[in-house]
Structure 1
Amino acid sequence: MAAYDTPYQRLEASYTDSPLGEHDLLVHVPEGSKSPWHHIENLDLFFSRVYNLHQKNGFTCMLIGEMFELLQFIFVVSFTTFLVSCVDYDILFANKLVNHSQSEHVKVTLPDAFLPPGVCRARIQENGFLTSLLIIAGVFWIHRLIKFIYNFCCYWETHTFYKQALRIPMSDLPYYTWEEVQSRIVQIQKEHQICIHKKELSELDVSHRILRFKNYMVAMVNKNLLPLQHRLPFLGNTVFYTRGLKYNFQLIFFWGPGCLFQNEWSLKPEYKRAGARLELSEKLAQRILWIGLANLVLCPLVLVWQILYAFFSYTEVLRREPGSLGARCWSLYGRCYLRHFNELDHQLQARLSRAYKPASKYMNCFLSPLLAVAAKHLGFLAGSILAVLIALTVYDEDVLAVEHVLSTVTLLGIVVTICRSFIPDQHLVFCPEQLLRVILAHIHYMPDHWQRSAHRAETRGEFAQLFQYKAVFILEELLSPLLTPLVLIFYLRPKSLEIIDFFRNFTVEVVGVGDTCSFAQMDVRQHGNPTWMSAGKTEASVYQQAEDGKTELSLMHFAITNPRWHPPRECSAFLSHLRERVQKDSAAGNQKNSPSGLHHLQCSGLSFQSDSEVWEILLVLP
């Protein structure tokens, strides 16, 4: 995806979710008959809580989970303080003797290395840096506690909404799909008038409310507006997108004082006018600079927390499963790049989970032969030494008492496991093209130049940006406190004018919903890709169209996951046209002229048994 130098064009909103004549609809409900959920002012927050409560399996699970998060924070801070100030490591490492009154031959126990409470307290007070960190951690924990109490009250109201309005008891909630819950929300609109600006709600209204800001982020990544791709010496083209950087993007655009939105559902009026774009650009650049400097000041604190959290989270896993860091996961950039508009978290996770195995097989096709030979011999040497030490331990367990024997056994085990991860499976068949087609059937997006180039190292390297090593993910998160300020100050700040233009040009006001990203309307006429449409069916210029057919694919995905949703006329015509084309091609067996996204049919042997299967095939059109 290339960045465009020409400013985005302003789109005129010509669509609405409301029936004609209901633009200013207000429904009169007698005071005595109003339900507790009549006219919920912040529907974004309310629907998000309804969705989160469903995904967390009910009120009790959500409450206990947040309580454990509070306790986990206390444990990490307390345990780290104890390790730093309350342990005598000279005794622990047997660098000095311990005087026992009973006998000189009494073994040193773990409590012998613990300092007395008075000494421990004095060491903490003398360490000014540690005291400062504890004060900051205490303030942060109190903030989280207040937020927990507030969330408890809010989610109790959501719990009551489930029981009384939706008539779903918490004990049965894990057995309801989100689609069933959403259907009930749409049905009770007429009874409770949750939104007073519309007579009826649609599934798209609910998705817009929950995913308003995420749709903007997906659109900005799709248009390559955010500085996520960088060209570095020796490393070439790399992608850097971490949770810390994502949080800062959201803070700059959507949250807090000085952001672009005046509330959860409305962009500030001045950002909708072109006349003040230069002034607003300077204001945004100044805000990015200050937030970048704040990240720089807080860098030591955040870095310490990231290191401690990674140590406590992954050390035991690394000891138990040394090869786990060699496993792969979908990167944060990959999740945003591959996400459809209006696609909820659980739907995205389901798609990527189905693609995990073929993606792993595809990446394993590219193991280096030279590295495999070296790994075999290194693994043989390490395994031989490990086998001898294990045999000696079985013969006499006192061998473990010899200094560094246990450490050596552990280290050799890790080396053997790592070496095995670089040795390819002898039964592995090299078929990258077929594997990439299977992957495409689930992830739905890939650049055009990947076709017939799946065997190339360049394609593998680009796919690795979406499907990275777990170790790389951890390393990026550890480096995030150091690199995030630099990305904000030197890469995001120069894009402030483009960002202002983007929000002005691609924000539309939808009745009963508020300001939304126009791409999230999935209007193929306004944002369709000409290669997907018949001649003259789309009005989108190269700046207005979504890249990689995201508008069309998002529309098809939303239509499949929400079969009761009635799309606008142009969208409905587009879906019907595509379905007829696929049915015709499949019936005739003519795949030579079928869309290239159906290439995976040639190796999977799929056949059409029903309309639902045809729709599933439509999802893989590129």
Structure 2
Amino acid sequence: MYKNKVMEASYQLMNDVDPEETPQDSGVMIHIVPEKAVRWNHIEDLDAFFTQIYTYHQSHGFACMMVKGVLELLQFIFIVFFCVFLFNCVNYPVLFRDEITNKTVNQKVTLSDAVLSCDQCLSNMGFWTWIIIIFSILVWLYHAVQFLSHAFRYWDLKGFFNVALKISDSELDNVTWHEVQSRIREAQQEQQMCIHTTEISQLDIYHRILRFKNYLVAMVNKSLLPVRLNIPLLGEKLYMSHGLKYNYELLLFRGPWSPFDKCFKLKESYRKLSHRQQIAQQLQTLILCVGIINLVFSPLIFLWQIAFAFFNYAELLKREPGALGVRCWSVYARLYLRHFNEMEHELCARLNRAYEPAAKYVSGFASPLMIIIAKNIQFVAGAISSVLIALSIYDEDVLAAEHVLTVITVSGAIFAAFRSFIPDENMVWRPESLMTQILAHVHYLPYSWRGLAHTTKVHQDFSQLFQYKATFLLEELISPVITPVILLFHLKPKALDIIDFFRNFTVEVTGLGDVCSFAEMDVGGRHGNPCWQSPTNATACGGDQYDQAEEGKTELSLIHFTYTNPDWKPPKDAQKRFVPGLITHALQDPSHYLQINADFVPQNYFGSYGFGLSSMIPRISAGMPGPSHAESPSIAVSPPGNINTFSNKASRAEGPLSMERWNRYMLPHQTALLHPSLGASVFGPGMDNNLDRFENVVSEMSNSALFLHEVHHRQVRRRGFHESSEPVPIWQRAGIVSSERTPLLPTPSHPS
């Protein structure tokens, strides 16, 4: 255990320092580090450091991380050993009594009778078995070394939490990420982790942790990465698995051959237009090599996936046969629905809140024919199972009959599995209302779905975002086979577009390095979309959309970031134009928005649901004078009625929940924007507990998202601009010189 002392750093002007020991340039600030400086001064790789801080917090501290790591290593050994044992060390003819020995003629077969000796096990192991064992040992050693390396890093990080942040491991579960982030900013003043500046903002921390994730989200937003496969009988399907995603990250961000140098700087060759063809050829060669490696090792990975899935889900399916019939958000959905600069726990909280309306929505599309078939199969399976159970209760010797127990188990599983195809007969299905509730939390859904939530086409498209657990598991199982195909035949031809993407959408931030320009969330710059802004400060819709983020991701990301970081100062253009324009737009006809959303959202879903100023971006324009009393409509937004998000898990996962900081930052900004009467209706004396305040933040963000979607809808209608009715990729919509890049996809035609 080491001791840490708080560093006392001093900044002195050149004029105050002995001229014989310093340069003669006066007015230059020098950072003098004491002899006994702590080890957290001038951290070279702040990206990794902040990422480890976030991982440490979300993983519940050092002890949990170490126990989890050790058990994962032991689990790997168990899976390999158990598989080898089952295939080589069990005498199945004896176990199934197909082979009768002298010992088993008049006795029951025991497990020891069916287990072969060590010599017999070794003799049964063939060439491929030893190859698998050797490969597994190498993989295990790699993970063991990696675990030991991480153990030393996180032990040092434990000291950082305890000393610099003053957070002990016992208190870690009671501290939100927002509070940890605030203490990091305070520690910067003492520790000087970043020497380029004396202060770091919340956006700086998010940029470093999500530097590469923001690029990936932007690529999905611009339809550069999602792969659409034409499957016979099923049509066009999106495919994105964890294995494929890992290969994307390895090629583009994590590997030594990635476009980024030293983890934060885009290589100079990628910046030069004259080198784009050469770099594209190198990237194609790299993708080819990685694809071939995936192809070579695909059998081993496939076997591992099957073994892991069997051991992980077999017992669950025995207890809950309908478990594979539940829904979950797909890997693609977690990228498509993610904001720029959104942490993983923030995304999970949003998707969890949307789970209930999403499940109700998809369950309303049960096929009448499938319901009839499911009910009859359920009847037959239930009858067989019931009779056998009744007979076994009367005489337990029935269970000794061959395969009786198997029939009972299988028929019970079939009964439970087909029950998931039969909807609740008491359910009232309102597809448009449910889709609006989903949109209120996920924030992104195709505009072409508007008013068509009741159609089969929208349901099928939404099912690719919110898929069956069985579908999710199947995609993961076939990932070792599909991933090489996608890399070789789908990603490799896009190498030139990937090079252009990095060159066109990378900006350098002083002291931070290169980041994705979309993540700057500059709504007034080239990435803002006029169709998602008020008519008072937006140009015509359409036009050059190459630089614009799709589906309002820049605008919605900015709003979300300000809600989760209430003491962050937004860009000046957002304060001067974006929010004032929205406020003016809302004040022109507030009752219109109230009526529109009352048609789609149940009255008790968000309390007295409304789109007054109190439900619009109350923090984003801090310091901007609010409307006069004469302009302020009397619209109150009460706490949401059925959004249950305040739990022990959420309290540490979703911030900002520090009420002291909330009161310190949010309320002054709220009153600076809103009329006091409106502010009182949201944060007034009647709402004096933390639960109501937190739930109101959730409601406010949902209201703001729906409000912005309504602004977009009215903009599109007013300007006569029609978006494509199909969710086709929009990477090549316009705008860049044809000789500078190779078109990825043809420009979609817009229906009149």
TM over 0.5: yes
Match of 2:579 in 1: 576
Match of 1:106 in 2: 107
Q: 1:311–1:198: structure 2 CA closer, same or farther, 3 Å change rule? A: same
**Does 2:361 match 1:362?**
yes
Give the Cα–Cα distance (whole angstroms) in 1 for the partners of residues 295 and 81 of structure 2: 26
**Does 2:596 match 1:510?**
no
Alignment gaps of 5+ in structure 1: 1-23
Give the Cα–Cα distance (whole angstroms) in 2 for the partners of residues 615 and 442 of structure 1: 8
Query: Once the 2 structures are TM-superposed, how far is the Cα of residue 143 of structure 1 from its aligned partner?
Result: 0.5
Match of 1:565 in 2: 568
Match of 2:591 in 1: 589
What amino acid does structure 2 have at the position aligned with 1:427? N
Structure 2 SS opposite 1:527: coil
Match of 1:13 in 2: none
Q: 1:26–1:544: structure 2 CA closer, same or farther, 3 Å change rule? A: farther
Match of 1:122 in 2: 123
Match of 2:236 in 1: 237
Query: Once the 2 structures are TM-superposed, how far is the Cα of residue 401 of structure 1 from its aligned partner?
Result: 1.0
Structure 2 SS opposite 1:572: helix
Match of 2:268 in 1: 269
Match of 2:450 in 1: 451
Q: Indicate conservation of the 8 Å contact 1:559/1:565, yes or no.
A: yes
**Does 2:531 match 1:531?**
yes
Give the Cα–Cα distance (whole angstroms) in 1 for the partners of residues 120 and 257 of structure 2: 48
Query: Once the 2 structures are TM-superposed, how far is the Cα of residue 261 of structure 1 from its aligned partner?
Result: 1.0
Query: Once the 2 structures are TM-superposed, how far is the Cα of residue 176 of structure 1 from its aligned partner?
Result: 0.4
What amino acid does structure 1 have at the position aligned with 2:485? L
Give the Cα–Cα distance (whole angstroms) in 2 for the partners of residues 66 and 274 of structure 1: 45
Match of 2:682 in 1: 610
Deviation per residue, 1:100-146 (Å, 9 max, x gap)? 3xx9522111111000122112222xx00000000000000000000
Q: Percent identity?
A: 46
Q: Indicate conservation of the 8 Å contact 1:598/1:617, yes or no.
A: no
Query: Once the 2 structures are TM-superposed, how far is the Cα of residue 89 of structure 1 from its aligned partner?
Result: 0.3
Give the Cα–Cα distance (whole angstroms) in 2 for the partners of residues 66 and 25 of structure 1: 48
Give the Cα–Cα distance (whole angstroms) in 1 for the partners of residues 523 and 247 of structure 2: 32
Give the Cα–Cα distance (whole angstroms) in 1 for the partners of residues 105 and 82 of structure 2: 32
Structure 1 SS opposite 2:491: helix
Give the Cα–Cα distance (whole angstroms) in 2 for the partners of residues 575 and 79 of structure 1: 61
Match of 2:664 in 1: none
Q: Indicate conservation of the 8 Å contact 1:58/1:173, yes or no.
A: yes
Q: Indicate conservation of the 8 Å contact 2:537/2:577, yes or no.
A: no
Query: Once the 2 structures are TM-superposed, how far is the Cα of residue 208 of structure 1 from its aligned partner?
Result: 0.5
Match of 1:190 in 2: 189
Q: Indicate conservation of the 8 Å contact 1:26/1:197, yes or no.
A: no
Query: Once the 2 structures are TM-superposed, how far is the Cα of residue 606 of structure 1 from its aligned partner?
Result: 1.7
Query: Once the 2 structures are TM-superposed, how far is the Cα of residue 470 of structure 1 from its aligned partner?
Result: 0.4
Structure 2 SS opposite 1:194: coil
Query: Once the 2 structures are TM-superposed, how far is the Cα of residue 358 of structure 1 from its aligned partner?
Result: 0.7
What amino acid does structure 2 have at the position aligned with 1:591? Y
Give the Cα–Cα distance (whole angstroms) in 2 for the partners of residues 218 and 208 of structure 1: 13
Q: Indicate conservation of the 8 Å contact 1:91/1:113, yes or no.
A: yes
**Does 2:376 match 1:377?**
yes
Give the Cα–Cα distance (whole angstroms) in 2 for the partners of residues 305 and 486 of structure 1: 19
**Does 2:227 match 1:228?**
yes
Give the Cα–Cα distance (whole angstroms) in 2 for the partners of residues 538 and 118 of structure 1: 80
**Does 2:78 match 1:75?**
yes
Structure 1 SS opposite 2:35: helix
Match of 2:477 in 1: 478
**Does 2:544 match 1:545?**
no
What amino acid does structure 1 have at the position aligned with 2:108? K
Match of 2:135 in 1: 136
What amino acid does structure 1 have at the position aligned with 2:528? G
What amino acid does structure 2 have at the position aligned with 1:411? V
Structure 2 SS opposite 1:28: strand
Query: Once the 2 structures are TM-superposed, how far is the Cα of residue 35 of structure 1 from its aligned partner?
Result: 2.6
Structure 2 SS opposite 1:239: strand
Q: Indicate conservation of the 8 Å contact 1:434/1:603, yes or no.
A: no
Query: Once the 2 structures are TM-superposed, how far is the Cα of residue 32 of structure 1 from its aligned partner?
Result: 2.3
Q: 1:160–1:538: structure 2 CA closer, same or farther, 3 Å change rule? A: farther
Give the Cα–Cα distance (whole angstroms) in 1 for the partners of residues 362 and 61 of structure 2: 38
Query: Once the 2 structures are TM-superposed, how far is the Cα of residue 34 of structure 1 from its aligned partner?
Result: 2.8
Q: Indicate conservation of the 8 Å contact 2:537/2:581, yes or no.
A: no
Match of 1:619 in 2: 705
Deviation per residue, 1:327-358 (Å, 9 max, x gap)? 01000000000000000000000000011111
Count of aligned residue pairs for this structure pair = 593
Match of 1:338 in 2: 337
Q: Indicate conservation of the 8 Å contact 1:25/1:197, yes or no.
A: no
What amino acid does structure 2 have at the position aligned with 1:409? I
Within-5 A mapping of 1:126-165: 127-165=126-164
Give the Cα–Cα distance (whole angstroms) in 2 for the partners of residues 365 and 508 of structure 1: 46
Q: 1:201–1:598: structure 2 CA closer, same or farther, 3 Å change rule? A: farther
What amino acid does structure 1 have at the position aligned with 2:532? W
Give the Cα–Cα distance (whole angstroms) in 2 for the partners of residues 458 and 381 of structure 1: 33
**Does 2:39 match 1:40?**
no
Query: Once the 2 structures are TM-superposed, how far is the Cα of residue 411 of structure 1 from its aligned partner?
Result: 0.8
Match of 1:89 in 2: 92
Give the Cα–Cα distance (whole angstroms) in 2 for the partners of residues 584 and 25 of structure 1: 51
Give the Cα–Cα distance (whole angstroms) in 1 for the partners of residues 252 and 506 of structure 2: 13
What amino acid does structure 1 have at the position aligned with 2:33? P
Query: Once the 2 structures are TM-superposed, how far is the Cα of residue 614 of structure 1 from its aligned partner?
Result: 4.3
Query: Once the 2 structures are TM-superposed, how far is the Cα of residue 45 of structure 1 from its aligned partner?
Result: 0.4
What amino acid does structure 1 have at the position aligned with 2:185? V
Q: 1:307–1:25: structure 2 CA closer, same or farther, 3 Å change rule? A: farther
Query: Once the 2 structures are TM-superposed, how far is the Cα of residue 541 of structure 1 from its aligned partner?
Result: 3.2
Match of 2:319 in 1: 320
Mean CA deviation greater in 28-37 or 457-466 = 28-37
Structure 2 SS opposite 1:414: helix
Give the Cα–Cα distance (whole angstroms) in 2 for the partners of residues 547 and 217 of structure 1: 14
Query: Once the 2 structures are TM-superposed, how far is the Cα of residue 601 of structure 1 from its aligned partner?
Result: 7.4
Specify which structure has the bigger relative contact order, considering alpha-carbon pairs within 8 angstroms and separated by 6 or more residues.
Answer: 1
Give the Cα–Cα distance (whole angstroms) in 2 for the partners of residues 73 and 224 of structure 1: 37
Give the Cα–Cα distance (whole angstroms) in 1 for the partners of residues 173 and 502 of structure 2: 38
Deviation per residue, 1:405-432 (Å, 9 max, x gap)? 1111111011111221111111011211
Structure 2 SS opposite 1:198: coil
After TM superposition, the score normalised by the length of structure 2 is: 0.76
**Does 2:54 match 1:62?**
no
**Does 2:31 match 1:28?**
yes
Structure 2 SS opposite 1:276: helix
Q: Indicate conservation of the 8 Å contact 2:537/2:578, yes or no.
A: no
Give the Cα–Cα distance (whole angstroms) in 2 for the partners of residues 201 and 404 of structure 1: 68
Query: Once the 2 structures are TM-superposed, how far is the Cα of residue 269 of structure 1 from its aligned partner?
Result: 1.2
Give the Cα–Cα distance (whole angstroms) in 2 for the partners of residues 449 and 227 of structure 1: 19
Query: Once the 2 structures are TM-superposed, how far is the Cα of residue 190 of structure 1 from its aligned partner?
Result: 1.4
Match of 1:10 in 2: none
Give the Cα–Cα distance (whole angstroms) in 1 for the partners of residues 239 and 702 of structure 2: 32
Mean CA deviation greater in 114-123 or 408-417 = 114-123
What amino acid does structure 1 have at the position aligned with 2:579? S
Q: Indicate conservation of the 8 Å contact 2:276/2:496, yes or no.
A: yes
Query: Once the 2 structures are TM-superposed, how far is the Cα of residue 610 of structure 1 from its aligned partner?
Result: 2.3
Q: Indicate conservation of the 8 Å contact 1:528/1:551, yes or no.
A: yes
Give the Cα–Cα distance (whole angstroms) in 1 for the partners of residues 492 and 253 of structure 2: 16
Query: Once the 2 structures are TM-superposed, how far is the Cα of residue 273 of structure 1 from its aligned partner?
Result: 1.4
What amino acid does structure 2 have at the position aligned with 1:49? Q
Q: Indicate conservation of the 8 Å contact 1:578/1:618, yes or no.
A: no
Alignment gaps of 5+ in structure 2: 1-26, 611-636, 638-680, 684-696, 710-752
Q: Indicate conservation of the 8 Å contact 2:351/2:441, yes or no.
A: yes
Give the Cα–Cα distance (whole angstroms) in 1 for the partners of residues 601 and 80 of structure 2: 51
Query: Once the 2 structures are TM-superposed, how far is the Cα of residue 31 of structure 1 from its aligned partner?
Result: 2.9
Deviation per residue, 1:86-111 (Å, 9 max, x gap)? 000001111011323xx952211111
Q: Indicate conservation of the 8 Å contact 1:227/1:492, yes or no.
A: no
Structure 1 SS opposite 2:39: coil
Q: Indicate conservation of the 8 Å contact 2:94/2:114, yes or no.
A: yes
- Kindly report the root-mean-square deviation, in angstroms, between the aligned alpha carbons of the 2 structures: 2.1
Give the Cα–Cα distance (whole angstroms) in 1 for the partners of residues 488 and 418 of structure 2: 41
**Does 2:284 match 1:298?**
no
